[in-house]
Amino acid sequence: MAPSHGIDCFLDAIAAINSQLAVIEKRLKARHKAGAQSRRVATIPGIRLIGATAFAARVNGQRLSAPLFCRAGVRTKARIT
């Protein structure tokens, strides 16, 4: 086994993760664009796409955040349900 084989495996994994994140980001952007509340929250300094979408989902009682972030392997400091 050549040393570059191990590096190729890591590079393939990174590429796969990046493509999954692109899909998730596209879904978040669509949900954010469709939600007036999410767009309003995003006007607060320091609040961006993920924060605004998660807040709007939490306030509206939707279960958007946890399954979406868990599939991506994202860990957050705040507990998202």
For residue 81, is it within any domain? no
Q: Give the DSSP letter string of 45-61.
A: TT--HHHHHHHHHHHTT
Instruction: Look at residue 35 and tell me if it is in a domain.
Output: yes
pLDDT in tens, 14-30: 999 999 999 999 998 99
* Structural domain that includes position 27: 3-72
Burial (CB count <10 Å: 0-12, 13-18, 19+), residue 65:
buried
Residue 23 lies in a domain: yes
**Global pTM?**
0.57
- Domains held by the chain: number: 1
pLDDT digits 0-9 by tens, 42-76: 888 888 888 888 888 777 665 544 555 454 444 55
Residue with structure tokens 């599939």? 71
Answer whether residue 19 is part of any domain: yes
